[in-house]
Structure 1
Amino acid sequence: METFYEALKRHGVSRRDFLKFATTITGIMGLAPTMVPEVVRALETRPRTPVLWLHGLECTCCSESFIRSSTPLASDVVLTMISLEYDDTLSAAAGDAIEKHREEIMKKYWGKYILAVEGNPPLGEDGMYCIVGGRPFLEVLKETAEGAMAVIAWGSCASWGCVQAAKPNPTTAVPIDKVIKDKPIIKVPGCPPIAEVMTGVIMHIALFGSIPPLDAQGRPKQYYGNRIHDTCYRRAFFNAGQFVERFDDEGAKKGWCLYKVGCRGPTTYNSCGNIRWYNGLSYPIQAGHGCIGCAEDNFWDNGPFYQRLTTIPVPSVEANADKVGVAVATAAAAGAVLHGVVSKIRNKDKEGGE
C-alpha cells in the first residue's frame, strides 16, 4: 500500500504544500512544533492505514460531522491519509459486495487496520434490534474487532450509550466497551464529536501506529483535557457573578454567563470553546445556548437541560451562582455609601478650612 506522501504526490501536491500540510496537522493533533519533523517522516514512510467504519444504533451525525472537517479536509484524510475500505454509509458498493470486501480486508490486514465504530450495539433479543448485512450488528462488531489494532468509538453513542441507552433503554443498548474488552478503545464522545477532533484522532493513529495519550475514561487528553468552562469566553461573566436568568433578559442580550439557565460547561470536558465548529466559526454557547453536556456519560438522563444541576458536585459553583451577584451588588452599594460619607467629610473639611 502506498505511503501518505506518495498519495499526496499522486494528487499533485508539491513538496512545499506537503510541508505546510505536515505543519498544520501537527498543530491539529495537539503536538508541539518540534514534532513537525517526526510527522513529516511518518507521512513519507508509513503506508496508509486501512480503516473499517461500522454503524450500529445511531443517527449518522458523527459521519455528518466528519465530512465537514476543514483542517484538514475530510476528503484529504480519506483519499490520502487513510484507506477507508468499508463504510456502509459512504461506500459506493453495497450488499454482498461490500460485506465480502470487509472480510477480505480483515484477512489481508489482520492486526493492522483501525476499526471505527459509530453507534452502539443493542443486546436485547440477541441483538435483533439492529441488523447489518442480514446479521445482528452485535455479531458484526465482535467479528470485525478481532483483527483490529485499535478501536475508535465515535460519538456519545459508541462511547457512553447516548439516547439509545437512556432510560428505559428498551433495546438494552450499551457502549461498545461493554462488548469489546480485549482491544484498546479510544472514546471520542460528543453528539456529534467536533470534526477536527475526529480527524486529529484518526491521523495520530495512522501516522504513529499508536493510540494518543488517553485520560482515565479513555478520551484523548489533547481534546478532552479541559472543561468547556475553562475555555469559555463567557467565563469572566461567571467570575463576576453576571448570569442570564432567562433567555430573553438583558443579561442574555449582553452575553452573560449561561450557567443558571442550565449550561453544563462547568462539568463537561471537550474542545468546543477553543476548536469550535465549522472552521472555528462558532459553538452552542457562542450562539446563545448553554452546553447540554453531550460529551458526558448519561447526558440524556442528566436533565432537565434548562435547569442547573444541583446534584453534580462542582466546587463553589452553586454558592457563586446565587451569592456572587448579591455580593457584588452589596459591595457596589456599600461603595456608594462610603463614597458619599467620604465626600461629606471632605466638604466639611473644606468649609472648616475656609
Structure 2
Amino acid sequence: MTSESGRPLSVRLAGAGVDRRSFLKFCAGITATLALPAQLAPRVAYALDQADPLPVIWLEFQDCAGDTEAFLRSRNPTVGDLILGMISLDYHETVMSAAGEAAEKARDDTVARGGHLVVVEGSIPLGIPGSCTVGGQSAENILRDAVRGAAGIINVGTCAAFGGIPAAGPNPTGAVRVEDVVGGVPVVNLTGCPVNADNLTATIVHYLTFGEFPELDGFSRPRFAYGERIHDTCQRRGHFDAGQFAEKWGDEGHRNGWCLYRLGCKGPSTFHNCPSVRFNGGTSWPVAAGHGCVGCSEPGFWDNMSPFYDRLPHVATSGFDLTADQIGIGVLAATATGFASHGVGKVVQHKVAARREKKAAAELAERADSEEETENGSASAGAGGEETGETR
C-alpha cells in the first residue's frame, strides 16, 4: 500500500481520478477547517503538491474500530485518495492486504527508516498485559517499538487519548492512555467517539504543510477543532437563550428542534467542532439528529458526564442572565477538575468575572444614584419647611 513517490501529489491524484480543480477545492476547504486565513490556501496546495507521501503506522488496541470506520468514510479526500496521495499507510491491521509475517515486516521496515507518524486507536491494558496481543506481542510492547524514531503520534478517538470507555470505572483491564506508556515524541489527541475524519485529514495536512502539528490546547488537542464549546456554535443555541427546552423525547419541543439540555445534552461543557464539521460526509451530528451531546471528546466522559440522559446537577435553566458561561463553568467545576485548565475555560472564567464585576458596578452606581436622590429630596423638604417657618 506504499504510495508512489517522486511525482507531485496533484499528478498522483490525477492518476487516481482526482482532477486539479478538486485538489484546489480540497486545499481551500482544509485551510478553512484549520481556521487559517484563506490567503494560505495556495501555500497549503503547494506544500501538499511537493511533499513526499508520509509513512504512517496505524495501531489498534482496546477499541471498537469506530475510528477506522470513520477514516474509511472520510469525504474529501476519500481514504483512497489519502493512501494514494498524501500518506503511505504502511501498516493497518484492518485494511492492509498483507498478513502474518509480511504485515509485521512492513511495520518493522517503516520503523527502521524512521520519520513516520504513528496513529493509535484504542487504550492500552497495562493491568492485563496479555489481554491485547498481536503476533504474540503485547499492546504495550508494540506501541513502544512503533514510536522509535517516529516524528509524532496521532491518537484517534478518546480511548487512545484519555483511556475512554475501557478506562472507566472499575477499569478491570487497567486501561491507560498512550501518553501513560510512551513519551518524548510529539503527540496530538483527536478525541471523540469516534474521531472526525475531517479533523484527522486537517491535522495531517497541517503537518505536511508546516512540518509540525497544529497549535494544541491543554489536553494536546488541536485548537482549530477543540477551541470552542459545542454549546456556543450549536444550531439549537437560540432555543436555549429563549428558554425553549425539550422536556421529553418526542414531545413538541423535541420535534421542533428545541434545546436538549434538560434531556442531558453536555454541549455546555464539551469542546469540539461537531456543529460545523459534522460527521458522515458533513451531513449530520448527534444534536442535529435529536440526541444530546454526551461529551465524548472530554477526559473521563463516561464517568464524569453520566447519567447521559439527565442534566448535570446544580445548573438552573431559568433566568437566562449569563447562562451559557455560567453553565460551562458550573459543569467544569462539577466534573473533572482538569477541565478548568482548558485555555478556553480560563477565557470564559475571566469573561464571567468581568461581566459580574460590570453588573455589580452598575448596581452599585444605581443604588448610589437612588440614595443621592433620596437625600436631595429630604434636603429640599427640610429647606421648604424652614422657609415656611421664617415666613410665619
Normalised to the residue count of structure 1, the TM-score between the two structures is 0.85
State percent identity of aligned pairs: 43
- The equivalent position to 2:313 in structure 1, one of 278, 302, 310, is 310
Q: Which moved more, 1:246-255 or 1:12-21?
A: 12-21
**Greater Cα shift, 64-73 or 23-32:** 23-32
2:16 touches 2:81 (CA, 8 Å); kept in 1?
no
Instruction: Provide the secondary structure at the position in 2 that maps to 1:148.
Output: coil
Q: Give the deviation of 1:98 after TM superposition.
A: 0.5
Q: Is the counterpart of residue 4 in structure 1 residue 6 in structure 2?
A: no
Pair 275,17 (structure 1): closer, same or farther in 2 beyond 3 Å: closer
Please name the residue that 1:339 is paired with: none
Partner of 1:200: 202
Alignment RMSD (CA, Å): 1.7
**Which fold has the larger relative contact order, with Cα–Cα distance below 8 Å and residues 6 or more apart in sequence?**
1
For 1:199-348, list aligned pairs within 5 A. 199-302=201-304, 303-310=306-313, 318-319=315-316, 321-324=317-320
Deviation at 1:39, TM superposition (A): 1.1
2:122 to 113, 119, 124: 119
Distance 1:90 1:107 in 2: 22
TM-fit CA distance, 1:66: 1.1
1:16-66 deviation line (CA, Å, top 9, x unaligned): 444334333323333221112211221232211100100111000001011
2:63 matches 1:58? yes
Q: Provide the secondary structure at the position in 1 that maps to 2:56.
A: strand
Who is 2:381 aligned against? none
Structure 1 residue aligned with 2:186: 184
> Is the 1:82–1:206 contact (alpha carbons within 8 Å) kept by the matching residues of 2?
no
DSSP-derived class of the 1:103 partner: helix
Residues in 2 aligned to 1:80 and 1:261: alpha-carbon distance in whole angstroms? 44
Deviations 1:141-164 (A, max 9, x none): 011112110100000000111110
Which residue number in structure 2 is paired with residue 345 of structure 1?
A: none
> Taking structure 1 as reference, are residues 79 and 30 closer, same or farther at Cα in structure 2, changes over 3 Å only?
farther
Larger Rg belongs to:
2
Q: 1:37 to 1:240 in 2, by over 3 A?
A: same
Q: Aligned residue for 1:328?
A: none
- DSSP 3-state at the match of 1:273: helix
- 5 Å-filtered alignment, 1:95-134, equals 95-108=100-113, 110=114, 112-125=115-128, 127-134=129-136
Secondary structure in structure 1 of the residue aligned to 2:232: helix
For residues 97 and 234 of structure 1, what CA distance do their matches in structure 2 show? Answer: 51
State the Cα distance separating 1:324 from its structure 2 match.
Answer: 4.6
Structure 1 runs not aligned, ≥5 long: 312-317, 326-354
Report which stretch shifted further, 237-246 or 8-17.
8-17
C-alpha contact 2:246 2:260 (8 A) present in aligned 1: yes
Q: Number of paired residues?
A: 315
Following superposition, which runs of at least 4 residues in structure 1 exceed 4 angstroms of deviation?
Answer: 12-17
C-alpha change, 1:13 and 1:235, in structure 2 (3 Å) is closer
Does residue 1:85 correspond to 2:87, yes or no? no
Report if aligned partners of 2:57, 2:116 keep a CA contact under 8 Å in 1.
Answer: yes
Any stretches of 5+ residues in structure 2 without a counterpart? 322-392
Contact 1:74 1:199 in 2 (8 A): no
CA distance in 2, matches of 1:17, 1:169: 46
Distance 2:19 2:173 in 1: 52
Q: 1:69 aligns with which of 70, 74, 79?
A: 74
